[in-house]
């Protein structure tokens, strides 16, 4: 990535005092961006960072004239090559799109038409921008996919999006964004849905292409580590305003605005230490061990024949899962080994993380541990009892009370038709716990534990932010007083500040309640903050298993080293910023 030479050169893009607003139901303007100023020079990479709702994507969409719904520019200028396009005619903006300003949208899973072949969609961009037509366009599509790093590009061009992985789809979107060789490329969270290794491959390739073509990049992201590595200039947005702007490394090493300081302190890719808690984790763990050794206070959640002699709450031995997939020919079948001879144990009161890329088998392991998927071979023992061997309905219900999941997507894991009260109450009601009044008291206590006000009980999921929904999901998981909580990518869909809040909350709840966590993730930076032990999986097998400190200080396998090197910003030295923070502070529902 080449830094732009700004001295004596005219800006490619200059935003002056930009105001953007949306109209509410009463047709009144609601400000989304206020007084924003931003400059991008040719060949320069500028990153806009901030949490969801900060105005960064709104600013980007205003540049290209793609504000959603009732959004409109209410003030200021957007100068592209010296011409104000803020109030330009629609046909003039359309003429700029693709040919002069390219866009790589956020979600590779939903921004390609599932009914059209990938090559046809890229060809459409070429035709629309007058780059090529007919056979020349077909040949150019193959060249663009090859440029984007897709092998066997001619065959890939004839495939549909569902036949592509997330990384391949993102490469196709990059090919589309650069098809007409624009002067400015707006990359809106281009890798937020991708694993760290795929993310690094995509960004490395994007850097190479933009350097070769001299394209300026406006990178929209909530990942400070990514911005630190990839950008020359950094712009920090908070509640619609730019609160800090300057050279990327200077801001990250010496942040001045309190919000920027919070971002730097909270970023898992930049924070390299285990979260601490106000409670002594070792004391809680010792109490759990003592209870396990002496069998005292056995939980009603555990089947009656469960033994509690071991300090390991979960013991997995030789776990294997083989799926049968369609093969060649109408009757052909082939076996796919998703998990191959996996063995590990989860110590009481601790967190074991399972880390690896998509397709490594992490979530399949979680489903087998939960008893939602029957293993092909091997055993999962909870307090000495084989999970797969629990057949009676009442025993399985007790098993469910002992282990509870927190899923990845807080927008999909809560029923949109249920109030928050009903979502948390449902497991209590299904298991016949308490009277209606007792359940309400329990729900109030749970909301207090996850630092939510009781006023959210009567709200619906769409009225809460992503972080608030994930807190509700955690409260629901704790409703049955489980011993083990399985977090399957529980923070990967959250912004950095919300992610930090949820990780701190999980850590504090573990110290308070003596919980044991099985934490599924693809992000080793998060593992460093929350876990005690880690398993690194590749292609269904464990390639490395050790304590977190051992894995981070002296990784034994090349694959583990590649995962560590792919953490954005991990090698960038920062100024002293106090990391972490308490989750006990009640969150503002209006934020």
Looking at residue 204, its pLDDT comes to 85
Q: Say if residue 410's pLDDT is above 90.
A: no
Looking at residue 306, its pLDDT comes to 42
Closest CA to 542 of 273, 406, 345: 345
- For residue 388 the two structure tokens come to 């797969």
Looking at residue 193, its pLDDT comes to 62
Q: Say if residue 271's pLDDT is above 60.
A: no
Q: Say if residue 534's pLDDT is above 90.
A: yes
Q: Are 275 and 530 in contact (CB under 8 A)?
A: yes
Q: How does strand 29-40 pair with strand 216-221? A: unpaired
Q: Say if residue 190's pLDDT is above 90.
A: no
If pLDDT is split at 50, 70 and 90, which confidence band does 576 have? very low
Looking at residue 277, its pLDDT comes to 55
Higher pLDDT, 504 or 267: 504
Helix (H, G, I), strand (E, B) or coil at 329: coil
Looking at residue 571, its pLDDT comes to 65
The domain defined by 1-100+216-266 carries CATH number 3.40.50.2300: no
Q: Say if residue 146's pLDDT is above 50.
A: yes
Question: Please, where are the H alpha helices in 85-133?
Answer: 90-96, 118-128
Q: What is the DSSP letter of 584?
A: T
Give the whole-number percent of the chain exceeding pLDDT 90: 44
Rounded mean pLDDT, 552-580: 74
What gap in Å lies between CA 223 and CA 237, rounded to an integer?
Answer: 13
- For residue 63 the two structure tokens come to 């540049």
- For residue 435 the two structure tokens come to 């009277």
Among 12-21, 47-56, 388-397, the least confident range: 388-397
Closest CA to 485 of 386, 382, 391, 585: 382
Rounded mean pLDDT, 488-505: 83
Rounded mean pLDDT, 409-432: 90
Closest CA to 209 of 136, 285, 143: 143
Q: What are phi and psi of 4, to 5 degrees?
A: -75, 145
Rounded mean pLDDT, 179-185: 91
Closest CA to 532 of 511, 557, 512: 511
Looking at residue 83, its pLDDT comes to 92
- For residue 157 the two structure tokens come to 């061009």
Q: Say if residue 254's pLDDT is above 70.
A: yes
Closest CA to 179 of 132, 110, 235: 132
Looking at residue 273, its pLDDT comes to 66
Q: Are 103 and 177 in contact (CB under 8 A)?
A: yes
Rounded mean pLDDT, 365-371: 91
Q: Are 267 and 496 in contact (CB under 8 A)?
A: yes
Cross-strand bridge partners of residue 227: none
- Based on the number of CB atoms within 10 Å of its own CB, is 409 exposed (0-12), middle (13-18) or buried (19 or more)? middle
| Residue 275: other Cβ atoms inside 10 A | 22
Rounded mean pLDDT, 211-227: 86
Triad 405, 224, 72: Cα angle to 5°: 95
Q: Say if residue 577's pLDDT is above 50.
A: no
Residues in CB range of 100: below 8 A, 6 or more apart: 80, 81, 182, 183, 184
Looking at residue 403, its pLDDT comes to 92
Q: Say if residue 475's pLDDT is above 90.
A: yes
- For residue 65 the two structure tokens come to 């004239």
pLDDT digits (tens, 9 = 90+) for 79-128: 999 999 998 888 888 888 888 999 988 776 678 899 999 999 999 999 98
What gap in Å lies between CA 237 and CA 239, rounded to an integer?
Answer: 7
| Residue 573: other Cβ atoms inside 10 A | 8
Q: Say if residue 526's pLDDT is above 80.
A: yes
pLDDT digits (tens, 9 = 90+) for 449-460: 898 899 999 999
Q: Say if residue 334's pLDDT is above 70.
A: yes
Give the whole-number percent of the chain exceeding pLDDT 70: 86
- For residue 25 the two structure tokens come to 């139901």
Q: Say if residue 269's pLDDT is above 80.
A: no
1-100+216-266 and 281-297+350-360+389-565, same CATH topology: yes
pLDDT digits (tens, 9 = 90+) for 44-56: 999 999 887 889 9
Looking at residue 439, its pLDDT comes to 94
Rounded mean pLDDT, 221-243: 89
Closest CA to 359 of 197, 540, 192: 540
Looking at residue 272, its pLDDT comes to 55
| Residue 361: other Cβ atoms inside 10 A | 23
Rounded mean pLDDT, 153-166: 87
241-247, strands of its sheet edge to edge: 101-104, 184-188, 216-221, 45-49, 233-238, 241-247
Looking at residue 280, its pLDDT comes to 47
Rounded mean pLDDT, 192-217: 81
Q: What are phi and psi of 547, to 5 degrees?
A: -70, 160
Residues in CB range of 14: below 8 A, 6 or more apart: 38, 39, 40, 77, 78, 79
Looking at residue 356, its pLDDT comes to 87
Q: Are 206 and 213 in contact (CB under 8 A)?
A: no
Q: Are 215 and 4 in contact (CB under 8 A)?
A: no
pLDDT digits (tens, 9 = 90+) for 282-331: 454 455 455 444 444 444 344 444 444 468 999 999 999 998 877 666 66
Stretch (H or E) spanning 20:
strand 13-23
Higher pLDDT, 565 or 167: 565
Q: How does strand 233-238 pair with strand 241-247? A: antiparallel
Rounded mean pLDDT, 181-204: 82
Q: Residue 420 to residues 251, 424, 448: CA-CA distances in angstroms?
A: 40, 6, 14
Q: Say if residue 240's pLDDT is above 80.
A: yes
Helix (H, G, I), strand (E, B) or coil at 27: coil
Q: Where does 281-297+350-360+389-565 sit in CATH, by number?
A: 3.40.50.300
Looking at residue 584, its pLDDT comes to 35
Looking at residue 49, its pLDDT comes to 92
Count the residues in the chain. 591
Residue extents of the structural domains in the chain:
1-100+216-266, 281-297+350-360+389-565
Rounded mean pLDDT, 247-264: 89
Closest CA to 56 of 188, 147, 194: 188
């Amino acid at each position: 990535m080449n830094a732009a030479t700004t001295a004596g050169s005219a800006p490619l893009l200059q935003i002056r005092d930009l105001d953007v607003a949306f109209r509410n139901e009463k047709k009144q303007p609601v400000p989304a961006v206020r007084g924003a100023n931003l400059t991008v020079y040719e060949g320069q990479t500028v990153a806009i960072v901030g949490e969801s709702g900060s105005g960064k994507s709104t600013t980007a969409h205003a540049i290209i004239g793609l504000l959603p719904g009732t959004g409109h520019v209410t003030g200021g200028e957007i100068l592209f090559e010296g011409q104000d396009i803020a109030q330009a005619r629609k046909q003039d903006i359309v003429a700029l799109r693709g040919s002069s300003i390219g866009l790589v949208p956020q979600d590779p899973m939903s921004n390609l038409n599932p009914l059209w072949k990938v090559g046809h969609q890229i060809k459409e961009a070429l035709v629309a921008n007058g780059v090529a037509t007919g056979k020349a366009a077909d040949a150019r599509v193959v060249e663009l996919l090859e440029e984007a790093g897709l092998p066997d590009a001619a065959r890939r061009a004839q495939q549909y999006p569902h036949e592509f992985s997330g990384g391949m789809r993102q490469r196709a979107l990059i090919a589309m964004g650069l098809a007409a060789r624009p002067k400015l490329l707006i990359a809106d969270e281009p890798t937020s849905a991708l694993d760290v290794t795929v993310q690094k491959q995509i960004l490395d390739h994007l850097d190479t292409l933009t350097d070769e073509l001299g394209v300026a990049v406006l990178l929209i992201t909530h990942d400070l580590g990514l911005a630190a590595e990839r950008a020359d200039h950094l712009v920090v947005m908070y509640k619609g305003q730019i609160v800090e702007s300057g050279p990327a490394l200077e801001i990250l090493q010496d942040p001045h605005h309190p919000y920027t300081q919070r971002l730097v302190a909270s970023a898992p890719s930049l924070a390299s230490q285990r979260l601490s808690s106000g409670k002594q984790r070792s004391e809680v763990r010792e109490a759990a061990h003592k209870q396990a050794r002496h069998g005292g206070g056995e939980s009603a959640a555990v089947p009656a024949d469960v033994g509690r002699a071991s300090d390991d709450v979960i013991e997995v031995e030789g776990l294997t899962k083989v799926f049968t997939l369609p093969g060649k020919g109408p009757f052909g079948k082939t076996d796919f080994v998703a998990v191959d001879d996996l063995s590990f144990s989860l110590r009481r009161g601790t967190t074991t993380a399972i880390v690896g890329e998509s397709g490594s088998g992490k979530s399949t392991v979680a489903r087998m541990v939960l008893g939602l998927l029957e293993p092909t071979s091997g055993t999962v023992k909870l307090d000495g009892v084989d999970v797969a061997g629990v057949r009676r309905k009442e025993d399985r219900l007790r098993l469910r009370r002992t282990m509870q999941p927190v899923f990845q997507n807080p927008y999909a894991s809560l029923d949109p038709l249920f109030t928050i009260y009903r979502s948390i109450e449902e497991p209590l009601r299904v298991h016949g716990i308490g009277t209606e009044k007792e359940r309400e008291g329990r729900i109030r206590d749970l909301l207090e534990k996850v630092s939510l006000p009781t006023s959210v009980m009567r709200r619906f999921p769409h009225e809460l932010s992503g972080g608030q929904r994930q807190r509700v999901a955690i409260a629901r998981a704790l409703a049955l007083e489980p011993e083990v909580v399985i977090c399957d990518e529980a923070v990967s869909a959250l912004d950095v500040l919300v992610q930090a809040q949820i990780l701190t909350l999980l850590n504090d709840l573990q110290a308070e309640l003596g919980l044991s966590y099985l934490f599924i993730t693809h992000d080793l930076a998060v593992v460093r903050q929350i876990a005690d032990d880690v398993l690194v999986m590749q292609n269904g097998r464990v390639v490395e298993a050790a304590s977190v400190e051992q894995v981070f200080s002296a990784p034994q396998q090349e694959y583990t080293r590649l995962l560590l090197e792919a953490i954005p910003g991990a090698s960038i030295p920062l100024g002293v910023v106090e990391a972490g923070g308490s989750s006990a502070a009640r969150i503002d529902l209006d934020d």
